[in-house]
Each structure stands twice: as structure tokens, then as C-alpha cells.
Amino acid sequence: MVFGKGLVYLLSMRIFFHFSLFTFYLLTGCKNDLPQTKAVPAFYHWQTHLQITPSERSLLDSLNVKKLYVKFFDIDLDGNDQPVPHALVQIDTHLLNGLDIVPTVFITNRTFKSISKKQIETLAENIFNKINALYRPPSEYQFDCDWTKSTRDNYFYFLDVFNSTLNTQHSTLSATIRLHQLKYPEQTGIPPVDSGMLMFYNMGDLDNWETENSILDLSIAEKYLPPIHHSPFTTHHYPIPLDLALPIFKWGVIFRQGELVSLINDLGEMDLQDTARFAKLATNRYKVQRSTYLAGYYLYEGDLIRLEGINPELLENAGTMVSQRFDKSQNVETSITFYHLDTTTLKSFQYEDFRKVLERFPASRQAR
């Protein structure tokens, strides 16, 4: 009887050992299985309340994400044509441990159209103080502005002034770069920053009903990128180092009497299944059958809806397209930043989808 109990005990311990080992690999396998690449994964957070959920944090950890670009607020002109902050972020520090938070500020292009140098200096100082009042001094600041030829000098002066305030902090400064700014640097100029974030989305004609997907159209992107094996991600092509932002979001584009009237974030086919209210015209095209509310928006009978978004296959193809322009001879890491971190958005993607994008970039031995 003693031998029998001992045998049962040994067998149970053996089963327990194998189960524990399986559980260990299940819990750690994703992170250990990450490819050795030049791609450093990161995410944007673009909502007014920074509150990371357990499922979002789980994904960040599985991908070994250490950096989160967070929109702190917008800058736009008020009724008196003065630049003021809007939509300030509320930060819940729960589950933020170990993450490098990069404050990102969106500034409208019109802010810099008619502004004096003195106003620019005051604006830079006010933004710096506002950011540091919201969160501890960061290692990097980022500005998002789709500047034009007419606003370039004022915007670049703003960046110079802001950069001068960072000397005591040892922080870096980055700015977003659109595709047209990448292709025509002689006309648009190079922002005076440490690095740029190439926004690889919002490249189609949003206002045109006939557009298929204004968020990401690879045939359009191809026209703005240099030929394959001519990298846009080295200073040989663009004078400052570039990181990459890829989209994972979706929205509905609402047209009324031929004009774009609004965007509804996170809108998908499942939201338009009520045939009494919505009639499907074609793939990703719908017509409002009767006036109704949809996601807080009031739509009128006859309004048209175009659904746009990103699926895993399109995301992977975008990563492949960019990686073909990546200089494989340089041991430089590039941040691949997904826009944006949101539980609803993430439902369309799995860990493996992000992994496939990251592994498109070859291994690196030295960080930038």
C-alpha cells in the first residue's frame, strides 16, 4: 500500500511538473519568441483619458513595448486668434509602470499662419510648462503638425525655441513627418529635431466618395517612397533619423449631399446590420434608409457611409513595403509605432499580427 501511494505521488508530481512547464512556456513563449529585429515596437495613445486596461497592458508586455506616445493636448486658435490648449489628457498611472511616456502635442497648421516671434516664444514656454505640470519630465517630446510652405518658418522657429528649453533636461525632440514632406524635403524643409516619425497613413483623398481607403492605400504610398533598396530611413535620403507609424484604426466617413460631414471612429460592418436603417450599396458602402442616431451622431435619410480600416493582411503588407526601403547594412533601430492603443481597435488584431510586421525588419546589434 505504501509503494502504491508512493507511485501515485510520483506520477502526480510528474504530471504537475509537465503541466507547470507547459504553463511556463505558455506565459513566456510569446515574449521569448519575438524576432530579433531593428524594429522597436511602440504605440500611440490618442484619447483624452490615459487609462491602460489589463488586456492592453498584456499586449504591450507580450510585444516588449517600452514606449507609449501619448497625446497630451491639442493647440488651436480660439475666437480671438490666440493659440490655446484643448482636450487635455487625464492620466491614470495604474499599469503605466515601466513605460516611457512620450508627451505628444498636436498643433493645427493655422496656429502658425499669423503669429509673431514673441508669441511663438511664449507658446513654446507655455506648452513646456503645461506638459511638465501634467506628467514628470519625459525623455522625449513630440510635436504633430502638418506644416506647409507658408507656416514652415514659424513652426521651425517654434521647434528651435522649444528645443532650447530642453538642454537642462537632456530630453530629445521629435516631430511627425507626412509622406509629402518626405518626398519633397526641398520644398517643405527639414524640421530642426532629433528625429522624425513618418506617418504612414491618411494618404488618400478623404473628401472623395469614390476613394477606396484614405487611411492606407499602398498604391498611393508607393508614389511617395523612394525605389526599393533606396532607404528613406537613413540620413542619406532624409537628413534626420526616421521612425515609422503604422495604422490599426478604422472609421466611418459620412457624406451628405456629396460633402464629407463627419467621421465616426471605430465604425464597422457590425454596426450597420439593421437593414431598416442602413442599406448596403457595395463593399464598405452604405446608405442611411431613415434618419437615426449612430454612435452619438445624428444621420439623415440619404446620408452615405464609407467604411475604412486596416486588417492584419494590409498591415503586414505595409510593413513589408517599408522594410524593402530599409538599409539592411546599418545597425540602427527604428521604432515601429502602431496608431493607436485602444481596446476596441485591438479586437481586430492578434499578437501574431504585430509580430509579423516587426519581423520584416532585419536584426540589429546597436541601438540608435
Virtual torsion, Cα 207, 210, 212, 213, nearest 10 deg: 0
* Cell, residue 119: 508669441
Residue 162 pLDDT = 97
Residue 325 pLDDT = 86
Residue 37 pLDDT = 65
Residue 20 pLDDT = 39
Residue 170 pLDDT = 86
Asked whether the beta carbons of 193 and 163 are under 8 A apart, the reply is: yes
Residue 26 pLDDT = 36
In this predicted model, what pLDDT tens digit does every residue of 201-212 receive, in sequence order?
999 999 999 999
Residue 16 pLDDT = 38
Those residues of the chain that have pLDDT short of 50 are: 1-29, 32, 364-368
Residue 36 pLDDT = 61
C-alpha 172/C-alpha 344 separation (Å) is 32
Give every CB contact of residue 159 below 8 A, 6+ residues apart in sequence. 143, 173, 175, 191, 192, 193
Residue 39 pLDDT = 87
Which of 362, 313, 311 is CA-nearest to residue 336? 362
**Cα 332 to Cα 233, 299, 347, 355, distances in angstroms:** 9, 49, 32, 19
Residue 34 pLDDT = 56
* Cell, residue 156: 521651425
245 DSSP β-pair partners: 199, 337
265 DSSP β-pair partners: 251
Q: Is 287 exposed, middle or buried (0-12, 13-18, 19+ CB in 10 A)?
A: middle
Residue 368 pLDDT = 46
* Cell, residue 180: 509629402
- Please tell me the pTM assigned to this model: 0.88
Strand 250-256 vs strand 304-309: parallel, antiparallel, or unpaired?
A: antiparallel
How many CB atoms within 10 Å of residue 45? 21
DSSP output for 100-120: EEEEEEEE-GGGGTS--HHHH
The CATH H-level (homologous superfamily) assignment of domain 36-249+310-358 is: Glycosidases (3.20.20.80)
